[in-house]
Chain A
Amino acid sequence: MEPLVYPDALIRRVLHAVRTIAMVGASANWVRPSFFAMKYLQEKGYRVIPVNPQAAGQTILGETAHAGLADIPGPVDMVDVFRNSEAAGAVVDEAIRLKDAKGIAVIWMQLGVRNDEAARRAEAAGLTVVMDRCPKIEFGRLHHELSWSGVNSRVITAKRPRMMR
């Protein structure tokens, strides 16, 4: 498989434009990666709506979980997929179907999740796709917060850092 290359400018644009994220596969268990990502993204001002049939009706980090994307009442800018690569295909198709109704513009598949076929379908439908990345890590990396843990952010700049949100 070709390595995925996303310019920092693209990731920045996505993280800047998005307000509401549907997190498919969100978990109420605090040691799950999805819980870490949801909590962090909330702190950065995103509204994160959990989607998980097992947790439907429950509250996760103050938000009501829904069984599917179609059950979310309001608009959604980005669908963040915390499912395995194969299962991501069906989530993407659902997002494509709902894109006009919900205003979905971005499909984001988590670190370790990659489905090139689904990505092609989404892009053909006019959606922006990011795969095998974590929005928490990318937000932290581009804002130099990941650097606080000694991580190689690969961001080099002589400009004073500014928060985008």
Chain B
Amino acid sequence: MSNAPKRYGFETLAVHAGATPDPTTGARNTPIYQTVSYVYDSADHAASLFNLQTYGFIYSRITNPTVSVLEERVAALEDGRAAVAAASGHAAQFLAFFSILEPGDSFVASQNLYGGSVTQFGHSFKRLGWNVRFVDPTDPENFRAAIGSDTKAIFIEALSNPGGVIVDVEAVAAVAHQAGIPLIVDNTLASPYLLRPFDWGADLVIHSTTKYLSGHGTSMGGIVVDSGRFDWGASDKFPGLTKPDPAYHGLAFWETFGDLGYAMKTRAVGLRDFGPAMAPMNAFLTITGIETLPLRMDRHIANAQAVAEFLTRHPAVAWVSYAGLETSPFHALARKYLPKGPGAVFTCGLKGGYDAGVKLVEACELFSHLANVGDTRSLILHPASTTHRQLTDAQRVKAGAGPDVIRLSIGIETADDLIRDLADGLAAATR
């Protein structure tokens, strides 16, 4: 027998990581621990728990046994050190930044992000004194040019929603590290099955688990995953991690917990004080969803490729942005970073513009007209009239959501049925 620690494949981790049989009952599947609180063995045990000196459960706003199975599972799938789950992807983004930004700090973000993230960063974060600078992510040098002395992180969607843009993660990670700051990747649209940002130098990953991880459109959720590899103590840029924390009676998280410090701070202060905890039921549904992630993603991708190829041949369609098409300017990056396939969310442009877009979404029978991605069901959306409505025209075009744009999230149904539904819808839209 070899001395090396055992390594398991992705599919094995998707089913097993974090989930041993229940120690008390032997229950093989992860139980839903639908409880708020947990008894202490003694006053001393309680004190140790509150001081973070011993591991254990106190209150489900901070930790819950069902939620922690999900956290470990996603940490394992991303090959990270630790993870902290949250009530939604947006809550996870808030927590990820809360641990590293002070009022007056800034971060640089790709302009090609989910529309809700553009609004969260540009408006709501601003009210906390966190300033964002958006840049075109297709040239990594744009990030470097936007970094100032107050900049504490770079944030990207490696595979972006909805533009089909793929960012050169390795190059952007190098820019971040030269500036002594972490690269945060929203890996929602790829899922760790298609892309593991830590393999390319990213330091933190966030997910909206609402999408492919839960996978069935059942449960809101988000998660922050730490690679454990960023040296927060190398500069004085991150006092929230390196200096004694008055919110935790003077504990310096980086010194006391080392490579677990970021995750501990995010949980023990961020989750504790702001409270966006994931519900155990949602964690359970997401754990169950993840078990079939590899199978689902393979089908999502095969279907997306077939639908994209159909659309490129359709006379009513002006362009298709799917990076799986050889004509895509991002095809080479897709081959490098997403060799199994560049996801199943992409956009196309209709020659008939805004009006044709509205007609198409209304005419489809099988595609659901709604704002979500990463469901087993195929979804269709006209971003300009829905998710990206609150942005200015210029921001919409920048974010890849102009008036003619249709966003598709291809599900795992029969590909021919999806193609027929779109063919019928396009016929109605051009009538």
Whether chains A and B associate is yes
CB distance from A56 to the nearest CB of B (A): 24
> Across the interface, do B82 and A150 meet the contact criterion of CB distance under 8 Å?
yes
Alpha-carbon distance A155/B81, docked complex (angstroms): 13
B55 touches A149 (CB 8 A): yes
Q: How far is the CB of A28 from chain B (nearest CB, A)?
A: 14
- List chain A residues, Cβ under 8 A from B20: 144, 155, 157-161
In the complex, are the beta carbons of A33 and B255 less than 8 A apart? yes
A137-165 CB mask vs B (1 if < 8 Å, else 0) is 10010001111111111111111111000
Cα separation A43 to B45 with both chains bound (whole Å) = 9
CB of B239 closer than 8 Å to a CB of A: no
Q: What is the CA–CA distance of A43 and B56 in the complex, to the nearest angstrom?
A: 13
User: A-B pairs with CB below 8 Å: how many?
Assistant: 112
Chain B residue at minimum C-beta to C-beta distance from A144 = B20
Q: Select which of A7, A148, A151 is within 8 A of B65 by beta carbon.
A: A148
A8 touches B5 (CB 8 A): yes
Q: A71-115 toward B: CB 8 Å interface, digit per residue (1/0)?
A: 000000000000000000000000000000000000000011000
- Tell yes or no: A1 within 8 A of B by CB: no
Cβ-defined contact, A156 with B13, below 8 A = yes
Q: Chain A interface residue count: which class?
A: 35 or more
The reply to whether A154 and B55 contact each other, CB–CB distance below 8 Å, is no
- Do residues B48 and A150 form an inter-chain contact, with CB atoms below 8 A? no
A5 proximal to B (CB < 8 A): yes
Whether B55 pairs with A150 at a CB distance below 8 angstroms is no
Closest-CB distance, B230 to chain A (whole angstroms): 16
Task: Flag if A161 contacts B23 (CB, 8 Å).
Answer: yes
Least distance between B313 CB and chain A CB atoms (Å): 45
Q: Taking A39-B48, A39-B53, A156-B17 as contacts, is the C-beta distance between A149 and B12 under 8 angstroms? A: no
**Nearest-Cβ distance from residue A29 to partner chain B, whole angstroms:** 10
Binary interface encoding of chain A residues 5-23 relative to chain B, with 1 for a CB under 8 A from any of its CBs, else 0: 1011000000000000000
Contact with A along B1-22 (1 / 0, CB 8 A): 0011110100011001110111
| Docked CA distance A111–B260 (Å) | 12
Is A150's CB under 8 angstroms from B84's CB? yes
Q: Which of B23, B69, B80, B260 contacts A160 (CB 8 A)?
A: B23
A149-B16 CB under 8 A given contacts A31-B244, A33-B256 = no
Chain B residues near A46: list those with CB within 8 A: none
Cα–Cα distance between A160 and B26 once the two chains are bound (Å): 6
Task: Note all chain A residues with C-beta closer than 8 A to B260.
Answer: 137, 149, 151
Q: Mark contacts of B59-86 with chain A using CB atoms, 8 A cut-off: 1 yes-contact digit, 0 otherwise.
A: 0000101001101100110011111110
Query: Does residue B304 face the partner (Cβ distance < 8 Å to A)?
Result: no
| Chain B residue nearest to A37 in the complex (CB) | B53
A74 to B227, CA, bound (A): 42
Q: Which residues of B contact A149 (CB under 8 A)?
A: 55, 63, 68, 71, 82, 260, 263-264, 267
Interface centre among A39, A137, A150 (most CB of B within 10 A): A150
Complex CA distance for A43 and B16, rounded to whole angstroms:
29
Residue of B with least CB distance to A112: B258
B390 lies within 8 A of chain A by Cβ: no
A147 in contact with B26 (CB, 8 Å) = no
Residue among A43, A157, A161 making CB contact with B54, cutoff 8 Å: A43
User: Are B53 and A140 closer than 8 Å at their CB atoms?
Assistant: no
Which residues of A are in contact with B by a Cβ distance under 8 Å?
Answer: 5, 7-8, 30-33, 35-36, 39-40, 43, 111-112, 137, 140, 144-162
**Interchain residue pairs with CB less than 8 A apart (22):** A33-B255, A33-B256, A33-B257, A36-B52, A40-B48, A43-B45, A111-B258, A146-B55, A147-B68, A149-B82, A149-B267, A150-B63, A150-B82, A150-B85, A151-B82, A152-B72, A153-B72, A154-B5, A154-B76, A158-B16, A158-B21, A160-B23
Q: A33-B256, A140-B55 are in contact. List 8 more A-B contacts (CB 8 A).
A: A5-B4, A147-B69, A148-B63, A149-B63, A150-B84, A151-B75, A152-B17, A161-B20
